[in-house]
Amino acid sequence: MNFFRNFGIALDALLANKLRSGLTMLGIIIGVGSVVALLSIGNGVQQSINGQITSIGTNLVTVVPGQVRITAGPPTNQGIRAPTQTKPLTDADANAIRERVPNLLGVAPELTSNNVTVAFQREKILVTARGVTADYNRVRNLEVAQGRWFDGADDERASRVAILGSDAADALFGGLNPIGQTVRIGSAPFTVIGVTVPVGAGFAGNPDTSVFVPLQTAYRTISNARTASGARRVSVIYISALSSDDIPRVEREVTQVMRQQHAIREGAEDDFTVLTQQQFLNIAGSITGILTLFLGAIAGISLLVGGIGIMNIMLVSVTERTKEIGLRKAVGAKKRTILMQFLVETVTLSLIGGTFGILLGVGIALLVGASGIIATTVTLESILLAVTFSLAVGLFFGIYPANRAASLQPIEAVRYE
Amino acid sequence: MGEMTNVYPTTSPEPARSDAPLIEATNLTKVYKMGETEVHALRGVSLRVWKGEMISVIGQSGSGKSTLLAILGALDVPTSGSYKLDGREVASMNDNQLAEIRNQRIGFVFQKFNLLARNTALANVALPLAYGGVPPREAKRRAAEMLTLVGLGDRLDHLPNQLSGGQQQRVAIARALVNQPSIILADEPTGNLDSATGKEIMNLFRTLHRERGITLIIVTHDPNIAAQSERIIRLKDGLIEYAAEVQTA
ipTM score here?
Answer: 0.89
Mean pLDDT, to the nearest integer, of A116-132?
90
Nearest CB among A16, A411, A414 relative to B114 is that of A414
Q: Are A133 and A218 in contact (CB under 8 A)?
A: no
Judge residue A187's burial from the number of C-beta atoms within 10 Å of its C-beta, 0-12 exposed, 13-18 middle, 19 or more buried: exposed
The model's confidence at residue B241, banded by pLDDT at 50, 70 and 90, is confident
- Are A333 and B131 within 8 A, CB to CB? yes
- Are B118 and A334 within 8 A, CB to CB? no
Instruction: Tell me the sheet residues that pair with A240.
Output: A60, A106
- Are A335 and B116 within 8 A, CB to CB? no
Give exposure, A216-235, as e/b (b: 16+ Cβ within 10 Å): bbbbebbbebeeeeeebbbb
d(CA B193, CA A408): 29
* Whether pLDDT at B3 is above 70: no
Distance from CA of B133 to the nearest CA of A (A): 7
Chain A residues whose CB is inside 8 A of the B104 CB are: 332
Chain A residues whose CB is inside 8 A of the B134 CB are: none
Angle at the Cα of B221 (from B217 to B226), degrees rounded to 5?
50
Q: What is the pLDDT of residue B31?
A: 92
| Amino acid present at B235 | L
Q: What is the pLDDT of residue B118?
A: 84
Q: What is the pLDDT of residue A123?
A: 86
* Overall size of chain A counted in residues: 417
Nearest CB among B75, B133, B175 relative to A411 is that of B75
Q: Least CA distance to A6: which residue of chain B?
A: B130
Q: Are A386 and A380 in contact (CB under 8 A)?
A: no
Give chain A's end-to-end CA distance (angstroms, integer).
Answer: 28
Which of A273, A243, A277, A238 has its CA nearest to residue A259?
A273
Distance from CA of B91 to the nearest CA of A (A): 15
- Are A330 and B96 within 8 A, CB to CB? no
Q: What is the pLDDT of residue A357?
A: 92
Portion of chain A with pLDDT greater than 90, in percent: 20
d(CA A381, CA A394): 20
* Whether pLDDT at A12 is above 80: no
Distance from CA of A326 to the nearest CA of B (A): 9
Q: Are A345 and A17 in contact (CB under 8 A)?
A: no
Residue B99 touches chain A, beta carbons under 8 Å: yes
Mean pLDDT, to the nearest integer, of B3-18?
53
A–B interface: beta-carbon pairs under 8 A:
61
Distance from CA of A375 to the nearest CA of B (A): 49
Global pTM value: 0.69
d(CA B55, CA A90): 114
Q: What is the pLDDT of residue B12?
A: 46
Lowest-pLDDT range, A196-210, A330-344, A361-375, B47-61? A196-210
Instruction: Tell me the sheet residues that pair with A287.
Output: none
d(CA B101, CA B93): 9
Question: What residue segments make up the domains of chain A, in order of their start?
Answer: 3-51+283-415, 87-270
* Whether pLDDT at B109 is above 90: yes
* Whether pLDDT at A35 is above 60: yes
Residues 171-210 of chain B whose Cβ lies under 8 A from any Cβ of chain A: 175, 179
Angle between helices A322-330 and A335-371 (to 10 degrees): 140
* Whether pLDDT at B229 is above 60: yes
Return the number of other C-beta atoms located less than 10 Å from residue A19's C-beta. 7
Chain B residues whose CB is inside 8 A of the A411 CB are: 70, 75-76
B192 backbone φψ class: left, alpha, beta (φ>0; ψ -120 to 50): alpha
* Whether pLDDT at A244 is above 50: yes
d(CA A111, CA A158): 14
The model's confidence at residue A358, banded by pLDDT at 50, 70 and 90, is very high
Give me the sign of the Cα torsion angle A18, A24, A28, A29. Answer: positive
- Are B127 and A331 within 8 A, CB to CB? yes
Q: What is the pLDDT of residue A69?
A: 63
* Overall size of chain B counted in residues: 249
Chain B residues whose CB is inside 8 A of the A5 CB are: 130, 136
The model's confidence at residue A411, banded by pLDDT at 50, 70 and 90, is confident
Summarised one tens digit per residue, pLDDT across range A142-188 is 889 889 999 888 888 889 999 999 999 999 988 889 999 999 998 88
* Whether pLDDT at A230 is above 80: no
* Alpha-carbon torsion, ordered A326, A328, A334, A340, to 10 deg: -100
The model's confidence at residue A9, banded by pLDDT at 50, 70 and 90, is confident
Summarised one tens digit per residue, pLDDT across range B144-183 is 999 999 999 999 999 999 999 999 999 999 999 999 998 9
The model's confidence at residue B2, banded by pLDDT at 50, 70 and 90, is very low
Mean pLDDT of chain A: 85
Q: Are A309 and A24 in contact (CB under 8 A)?
A: yes
* Whether pLDDT at A190 is above 90: yes
- Are A324 and B116 within 8 A, CB to CB? yes
- Are B118 and A16 within 8 A, CB to CB? yes
Chain A residues whose CB is inside 8 A of the B100 CB are: 332, 334
* Whether pLDDT at A120 is above 70: yes
The secondary element (H helix, E strand) that includes residue A124 is strand A123-132
C-alpha separations of A2 from A245, A332, B109 in Å: 56, 16, 27
* Whether pLDDT at B6 is above 50: no
Q: A373: helix, coil or strand?
A: coil
Portion of chain B with pLDDT greater than 70, in percent: 93
Return the number of other C-beta atoms located less than 10 Å from residue B80's C-beta. 13
CATH code for residues B5-248: 3.40.50.300
Q: B72: helix, coil or strand?
A: helix
Mean pLDDT, to the nearest integer, of B193-213?
91
- Are A327 and B136 within 8 A, CB to CB? no
The model's confidence at residue B184, banded by pLDDT at 50, 70 and 90, is very high
Q: What is the pLDDT of residue A189?
A: 92
Chain B residues whose CB is inside 8 A of the A13 CB are: 118
- Are B99 and A332 within 8 A, CB to CB? yes
Summarised one tens digit per residue, pLDDT across range B34-93 is 888 888 999 999 999 999 999 999 988 888 888 999 999 999 999 999 999 998 999 889
Distance from CA of B248 to the nearest CA of A (A): 35
The model's confidence at residue A71, banded by pLDDT at 50, 70 and 90, is low
- Are A414 and B95 within 8 A, CB to CB? no
- Are A411 and B70 within 8 A, CB to CB? yes
- Are A332 and B114 within 8 A, CB to CB? no
- Are A330 and B108 within 8 A, CB to CB? yes
Query: DSSP string of B206-220?
Result: HHHHHHH---EEEE-
Q: What is the pLDDT of residue A393?
A: 84
* Whether pLDDT at A370 is above 90: no
Q: What is the pLDDT of residue B189?
A: 92
Chain B residues whose CB is inside 8 A of the A329 CB are: 75, 99, 102
d(CA A122, CA A171): 12
The secondary element (H helix, E strand) that includes residue A169 is helix A166-173
Query: DSSP string of B23-65?
Result: EEEEEEEEEEEETTEEEEEEEEEEEEE-TT-EEEEE--TTSSH
Distance from CA of B10 to the nearest CA of A (A): 33
* Whether pLDDT at B131 is above 80: yes
Mutate to test the interface with A, among B65, B102, B105 (most CBs of A within 10 A): B102
Q: What is the DSSP letter of A208?
A: G
- Are A334 and B96 within 8 A, CB to CB? yes
C-alpha separations of A110 from A17, A62, A216, A237, B238 in Å: 71, 11, 11, 6, 104
Lowest-pLDDT range, A354-368, A403-417, B84-98, B229-243? A403-417
Mean pLDDT, to the nearest integer, of B182-195?
91
Mutate to test the interface with B, among A2, A317, A321, A331 (most CBs of B within 10 A): A331
Q: What is the pLDDT of residue A265?
A: 85
Nearest CB among A5, A16, A411 relative to B76 is that of A411
Distance from CA of B74 to the nearest CA of A (A): 8
**Strand arrangement of the beta sheet that strand B80-85 belongs to:** B37-49, B23-34, B80-85, B88-89
- Most confident of the ranges A8-12, A77-81, B30-34, B168-172: B168-172
Distance from CA of A406 to the nearest CA of B (A): 11
Query: DSSP string of A209-277?
Result: GEEEEEHHHHHHHT---B-TTSPBEESEEEEEESSGGGHHHHHHHHHHHHHHHTTPPTTSPPSEEEEEH
The model's confidence at residue B248, banded by pLDDT at 50, 70 and 90, is low
Q: Which residue has the higher pLDDT, B3 or A98?
A: A98
How far out from the chain centre does Cα B73 lie?
8
Residue A316's contacts (CB-CB under 8 Å, 6 or more residues apart) are: none
Residue B76 touches chain A, beta carbons under 8 Å: yes
